[in-house]
Structure 1
Amino acid sequence: MDLRQVYIFAPPAEMLLRLLGTLEEVRLLSGERQPAAVQVRLSEMIAVLATLVADALMKLGRLDQARMWYGTARAAADDAGGIELRSRIRVQAAMLPYYYGPLERAASLAKDARLLNRGRATSTGAFAAAAEARALARLGDVEGARTAVRQAIELFDHAPAGPADDAWAFPRRRLLLYLSGAFTALGEVREALRVQQEALALYPDRTGIDPALLRLEEAMCLVHQRNPSEACELASSAYLAVPEELRTEILGVRTKEVIRIMPARVRETRAARQLGELLALPTGRM
């Protein structure tokens, strides 16, 4: 099976070894004298593999290394020269500051990707607009976020359909994940819950990282609806439902966000304290 298909389901730590091994093979080939067309193809492969390495490191919370690998991916994409790839690398890199900060950097990278795409109806264009939407929503730019949401939906609806089982694709379930982030941050609970349920239906076993992120955003919606106890219960369930090898730092960050958006007095309730205590436990002692 192709690495990009395996990546969707395999634990990030496991994928790192496989990706780095393949990347070394490609790097050795690129160091040899090659025809120009072959060299471009090798640069494209390095850009994709380096991005997946960075993504795995990001999920594991190894942020400095992730930033370095995103830089490697960007340099390789710029060397290859294709607009589609250059745009995709930038929007992929926006995930790191979206989850770990600063949010302004996430919005900037997504905007750069969107501008590179030049309004073309591609999955990358939809990806860039959706990434910009959820970053702007968390920054409080309501109108900017709503405009980006509309653009993401329009571009996605007019883009050629891509594969659903490829880590480099942007299928409907990922669009819905990004829209969930935007609607949740905007406090548009009805729309957020709608896209969350539609997205979860596209994950048959509902046990991976993305389904957990969707359920955590559902918990945030419960906070907006002033149901903090239910929110904490759902967040705990979503976090613990993920297999331990997939229960990485990125889930901890989003689970803490459920507590962070609560009013100060609510963060002192028993339910919120118990959720915080759960997150403080070392892996393997849940």
Structure 2
Amino acid sequence: MGIDSDLTDAILDSNFDKIRKSKSASAWAIDTFRTSWEFLEGLDKRVRRKKDEADRLVTPSPSIAPRPAIRDKPGLLDSYKEPPVLKLATMAAMPDSIDGKIMLHKGGAMTRLVSAFNEDGSLNVAKLFSAPPTDFHRTRADLLCFTKNIDIAEQYADFSQRRVPAEEGAVLSFAVPTELVDEHREIFGRDWQRLLWWARGPVRSLDDVQLPASLTQYTEAPLLIGYICGMADDKIARLESSSGLAGQYMKTKNDANASQYVFQATSVQAELQAQCAGWVWIRSMRFSPEFTKRFFLKEDDNGGEGSSGQRRGSN
């Protein structure tokens, strides 16, 4: 698979400048190849599953237990071939806010985001870990990153869909109990620059590899909150020092600084997985705003957000 003019145009699309500038063109090309591969893997599994179902209808085997047919709702979903696990979710509007909870979001390709759900609809947040380096760590591959800025998640989803048209972009939204994020550490200003320089900056000497002792308070925090960097690694590598990162924040559509919530400790990740069960929505950007699904707990009455939740008007 090469880089043709369509992919080049997609990566350089000016509508996604805020997102695109956070990585180099080559990094986005590699990300596109990875997204395409994951989509094809998912498609292969779905085709094989359909073939197995067809085989059972034609020549049922006594060793294979029949499964009940599942019909989609009429209308939009008639033409939508959703990932199988989404059949376990329920069409449900996502609220703007819920008492006692904070909404955190992650945008990207549908195939990757739905991988966070097991076949029974339960959560496996490890599937959402970000690949290193991230803004706040050079090597860790077990960091769980979200943003509270839904428009940033939507831009990531739309940019993914723009680069891989066969795949749909999606936004995954978690309603996280506020007590789970109350104990956190924030990083801003000079320390933000220094930590990001260590995580994503060039290695020019052994001193650049060693994390300064004053910054371990951030890398060891169970939950770290800070701005998202809007500068690509290749540009960071050309800076003389960390001070060149001053003000290099990703911006929202309203030109505010976009922030990220990084769940670093396994214990807090496990708590998030347990406490957010039944409080997760996934939205297809291709069918947005009509297509929003929620994974309810089995014992839930499909009204778990309660009257205290203020619903998104468009959903």
Bin the TM-score by the shorter chain: under 0.3
Give the TM-score normalised by structure 1: 0.27
Indicate the structure with greater helix content: 1
Of Structure 1 and Structure 2, the greater strand share is in: 2
TM-score by length of 2: 0.25
The structure number with the bigger radius of gyration is 2
